Structure 1
Amino acid sequence: MMIPDQYLSFFCFIFFSFFACFIMLLFGYLLGGRSYFQNTPNPFESGIISLGTARLHIPIKFSLVAILFVIFDVEALYLYTWSVCVRELGWMGFFSIVCFIFFLLITLFYIIQNNILEEIVLK
């Protein structure tokens, strides 16, 4: 039984991908730096000894801003890719983007209804 060229090239790709990952991990293990301390005496960043603790209390508003940014930034990416190929998508693409924009408007109305934007600005 003959294996088609597409399958053979796919299996070669998978094999060499795993082989390259294995080689990178092996070289990292063999050539990487070693630490002989159980606990390093002084943690440092770029040769500078750190001061204080790394456990800081960060307000939740930073997470809310990040989530809102991701929601509406991804929207812009999807709308851009849709606008590039709008003629090829036809009516099915139009209705799918209408549903997408509808869900984003529901999200925006939810944010406005629960005063999330005001909580971020006022705190």
Structure 2
Amino acid sequence: MLASFDIRECLSFFCFISFSFIFCFFMLFASSFLGGKSTSRYKHTPFESGISPVGDTCLHFSVKFYLVAMFFVIFDVEALYLYVWSVSITETGWVGFFESFIFILFLLLSLFYLIRIKALNWAYK
């Protein structure tokens, strides 16, 4: 069945959204008018702990670093799913247990796959 359409709920939603946008724009423009202005000649020079910068600030990292970081994030997020499952173990019962077992099995298979294709090795080929 379709829920009844109430114009007052839509109106309150649009009022909330419009007030939020107006408030955000007001805060942005108020900070530009009320904020302090500095016109010194050292305003746009980088400053780190009282030491003037020397050399190039562009650092080159290996692609392996980003790859391992992405693998960590992926496996870390999957650990959050396991935490949610462990909190609700009494409600899920045996069905939830077998589903989590299959989930952990897929995690292990993907980890073994990453090891097999040597995606976690730092050594250059």
Where on the TM-score scale, by shorter chain, does this alignment land: which range? 0.5 to 0.7
Q: Give the corresponding residue for 2:79.
A: 76
1:41/1:72 Cα in 2 relative to 1: closer, same or farther (>3 Å)? Answer: closer
**Alignment equivalent of 1:101, drawn from 91, 101, 104:** 104
**Larger radius of gyration, structure 1 or 2?**
2
5+ residue gaps in structure 2?
1-5
Aligned pairs, how many?
A: 118
What amino acid sits opposite 2:63 in the alignment? I
- Aligned with 1:25: secondary structure? helix
**Aligned-partner Cα distance in 2 for 1:99–1:17:** 44
**Alignment equivalent of 1:3, drawn from 4, 7, 10:** 7
List aligned pairs for 1:15-54, cutoff 5 A.
15-32=18-35, 34=37, 42-45=45-48, 48-54=51-57
> Identity percentage over the alignment?
55
What amino acid sits opposite 1:3 in the alignment? I
Q: Give the corresponding residue for 2:58.
A: 55
1:52/1:11 Cα in 2 relative to 1: closer, same or farther (>3 Å)? Answer: same
CA RMSD of aligned residues (A): 3.4
**Aligned-partner Cα distance in 1 for 2:109–2:83:** 20
1:24/1:89 Cα in 2 relative to 1: closer, same or farther (>3 Å)? Answer: farther
Q: TM-score, normalization: structure 2?
A: 0.65
Q: TM-score, normalization: structure 1?
A: 0.66
Q: Could you tell me how far 1:55 is from its partner in structure 2?
A: 1.1
